[in-house]
Amino acid sequence: MNAPRQLLRIQCIGCVARFLGTPVQRVVLAGVAHVQTPRSQHSYGQLLRPFHCSAVCFTNRQSQTELEKTAEDETLKKDKSLVTHDDLFERAARDSKTKADFNRVVDVFSKKDIRRRGHVEFIYAALKKMPEFGVERDITVYNKLLDVFPKEVFVPRNFIQRMFNHYPRQQECGVQLLEQMENYGIMPNVETKVLLAQIFGEKSHPMRKYQRIMYWFPKFKHANPFPVPHVLPSDPIELARFSLTRIADDLDGKITIYQYPSTDITEAGEEVTSPHIVGIQSPNQRSLLAKHNPCKPVFVEGPFPLWLRKTCVHYYLLRADPIPPEEKVEEEFDPEMIGPEQSLFYPQRVELDLERDMGDDFKFDVDDVEEGPVYAMCMAGQGDQATLSQWISGLQETCPILGQIPTVFRLESGPRELQTSSDAQQTPEQEVETDQIIEEEPLHSRRVNQ
């Protein structure tokens, strides 16, 4: 059924009810009941069904066999216990934890008892279990959970109820559910609103919470100018490309894939894996590197962490020390070229002994900390020197001067691989190697002929 229409209908009913009082409302609602599909085989309380079943309920599953039985057992055995529902989820998820399993548990609970006894506890338990099942970011699941609440029962019917906190525990539970949605950044949808209106009424606390979320969420949706997608690319090269462009906020920066990951088996039968090497360099960086004084070393440093939501990746820098002030060469301009009256088309500067007036000087006094130039960045499958030398030799293709510059590798200990859940295995030897800081003799890397 169309959710907004349903919402509208509830409001109509509310109006009618206000005029005619409760008995009529019952009748009207009973009429409504025929529109909805009763989903239970229980003969008991046919009239009551619609109050407990919303328009957005899922159609029933055919087989809920075992779980259903355990649930029923539970109700029989420890009816008054408060900790039953956790077990229900535990039991359901013995072998797998998926959305389907979660939904099944919720369905079982909803069907188990017409009165939905203990639904508040159940919802709390379910909320807690959601991350485990990986459904914490799924709006349909939240709606399904909300659906567990019996409908119409908690809607205040007179001004006294409205004035006081009507069914506080239930309302609190509803707010808690919305809050969890909020924390995970899930925006409620119209269905949520329909459910809330059915369950708690138009002016309840959960409804207010919903309205607040709907006020603020859209406003903050695009607050982050550098959004990270929820699902990161699984291909390490794509991930590296994404991360590098994210760090180097330069649209001119060019990504180069120096090496694709591959596994070869040598004649001796050894398995040789070559890790991926992805680098980024902008034309400006390239020209800076070309101007680098070949007597001064450049450093390969890293790994530095970059967090992308829950994933941590590592990158390496090629940088140099800042040029000491005495060695700086001021670029000299030929006054004929840029001076007044001289330049071909227009003067690049005027020769006046007048500074900018203080009243028009809006510059901030910023203490600039001199930093050395960063010439390039890369991400690699492995952080050992051999891999990174390959990156350097790759860079030499565009910057031949790099062959004459001593390159020092200053690699700190740290994870060598991208810490994605899938490939987190490292050989113990590698770890040992990385444990101490490797400070090598300046290595004159030769130009690689390729």
Partner 1 sequence: MNLNKLFVLSRSVNLGRNLFAGRVAQKGDCLPRFQSRRSIRSSARSLVYAKDLFLGKVNKAEVFPYPEISNEELEEINQLVQPVEKFFSEDVDSKKIDHEAVIPPETLNGLKELGLFGIQIPEEYGGLGLSNTMYARLGEITSLDGAIAVTLAAHQAIGLKGILIAGNDAQKAKYLPKLATGEHIAAFCLTEPGSGSDAASIQTRATLTEDGKHFLLNGTKFWISNGGWADIMTVFARTEVVDKDGQKKDKITAFIVERAFGGVTSGKPEDKLGIRGSNTCEITFEETKVPIENVIGEVGGGFKVAMNILNNGRFSMGSAGAGMIKKLIAWTSEYACTRKQFNRSLSEFGMIQDKFATMALNAFVMESMAYLTSGMMDRPGVPDCSLEAAMVKVFSSEGSWVCVSEALQVLGGLGFTKNYPYERYLRDCRILQIFEGTNEILRMYIALTGMQYAGKILTGKIKEMKKGNVGVVFEILGKKLKESVVKTVDFGLTGKDGVVHPSLTESAKMFEQNAAHFGSTVEGLLYRYGKTIVEEQLVLKKVADVLINLYAMTAVLSRTSRSISIGLRNHDHEVLLTNTFCKDAHFKNNFLLTQLQKNSPENNDANIKKIAQEVLAKREYICSHPLDRTF
> What does the alpha-carbon distance between residue 181 and residue 137 come to, in Å, rounded to a whole number?
8
Comparing CB distances to partner 1, the nearer of 179 and 412 is 179
Q: Which helix (H) or strand (E) holds 298?
A: strand 298-308
Q: Which one of residues 4, 31, 218, 294 is an interface residue with partner 1 (CB under 8 A)?
A: 218
User: Residue 369: which residues within 8 A CB-CB, separation 6 or more?
Assistant: none
Comparing CB distances to partner 1, the nearer of 30 and 214 is 214
Among the listed residues 140, 80, 144, the one whose alpha carbon sits nearest the alpha carbon of residue 109? 144
Q: Which one of residues 14, 261, 297, 347 is an interface residue with partner 1 (CB under 8 A)?
A: 347
> What does the alpha-carbon distance between residue 65 and residue 407 come to, in Å, rounded to a whole number?
68
Q: Which one of residues 19, 164, 345, 364 is an interface residue with partner 1 (CB under 8 A)?
A: 345
Regarding 406 and contact with partner 1 (CB under 8 A), the answer is no
Only one of the segments 43-51, 157-165, 166-174, 214-222 lies at the binding site for partner 1 (rule: CB under 8 A); that segment is 214-222
Residue reference for tokens 């991208």? 418
Comparing CB distances to partner 1, the nearer of 142 and 258 is 142
Q: Which one of residues 340, 400, 414, 442 is an interface residue with partner 1 (CB under 8 A)?
A: 340
Are residues 192 and 210 in contact, defined by beta-carbon separation less than 8 angstroms?
yes
Regarding 348 and contact with partner 1 (CB under 8 A), the answer is yes
Tokens, residue 164: 């006081």
Comparing CB distances to partner 1, the nearer of 217 and 304 is 217
> What does the alpha-carbon distance between residue 316 and residue 376 come to, in Å, rounded to a whole number?
9
Q: Indicate the angle between helix axes 99-112 and 139-146, nearest 10 degrees.
A: 10
> What does the alpha-carbon distance between residue 11 and residue 317 come to, in Å, rounded to a whole number?
62
Q: Shortest Cβ distance from residue 343 to partner 1 (Å)?
A: 7
Only one of the segments 44-52, 140-148, 159-167, 352-360 lies at the binding site for partner 1 (rule: CB under 8 A); that segment is 352-360
Q: Which one of residues 176, 211, 274, 343 is an interface residue with partner 1 (CB under 8 A)?
A: 343
- Side-by-side strand order, sheet with 311-320: 254-259, 277-281, 374-380, 311-320, 298-308, 407-411, 438-439
> What does the alpha-carbon distance between residue 151 and residue 63 come to, in Å, rounded to a whole number?
26
Regarding 214 and contact with partner 1 (CB under 8 A), the answer is yes
Q: Shortest Cβ distance from residue 361 to partner 1 (Å)?
A: 9
Q: Which one of residues 20, 100, 187, 290 is an interface residue with partner 1 (CB under 8 A)?
A: 187
Are residues 216 and 179 in contact, defined by beta-carbon separation less than 8 angstroms?
no
Regarding 27 and contact with partner 1 (CB under 8 A), the answer is no
Q: Shortest Cβ distance from residue 74 to partner 1 (Å)?
A: 39
Comparing CB distances to partner 1, the nearer of 94 and 356 is 356
Q: Shortest Cβ distance from residue 342 to partner 1 (Å)?
A: 7
Regarding 290 and contact with partner 1 (CB under 8 A), the answer is no
**Side chain identity at 177, as an amino acid letter?**
L
Find the length of the chain. Answer: 450
Comparing CB distances to partner 1, the nearer of 80 and 356 is 356
Q: Which one of residues 327, 331, 355, 368 is an interface residue with partner 1 (CB under 8 A)?
A: 355
Comparing CB distances to partner 1, the nearer of 184 and 304 is 184
Tokens, residue 372: 């050395």
Buried-state track 305-319, b at ≥16 Cβ within 10 A, e below 16: eeeeeeeebbbbbbb
Q: Which one of residues 326, 336, 367, 441 is an interface residue with partner 1 (CB under 8 A)?
A: 336
Are residues 184 and 134 in contact, defined by beta-carbon separation less than 8 angstroms?
no
Are residues 25 and 13 in contact, defined by beta-carbon separation less than 8 angstroms?
yes
Regarding 337 and contact with partner 1 (CB under 8 A), the answer is yes
Spell out, one character per residue from 223 to 262, where the chain touches partner 1: x when CB under 8 A holds, - when not.
Answer: ----------------------------x-----------
> What does the alpha-carbon distance between residue 426 and residue 242 come to, in Å, rounded to a whole number?
24
Are residues 420 and 391 in contact, defined by beta-carbon separation less than 8 angstroms?
no
Regarding 131 and contact with partner 1 (CB under 8 A), the answer is no
Q: Shortest Cβ distance from residue 208 to partner 1 (Å)?
A: 17
> What does the alpha-carbon distance between residue 376 and residue 388 come to, in Å, rounded to a whole number?
12
Regarding 351 and contact with partner 1 (CB under 8 A), the answer is yes
Contacting positions for partner 1 (CB under 8 A): 187, 189, 214, 217-218, 221-222, 251, 334, 336-338, 340-357, 359-360
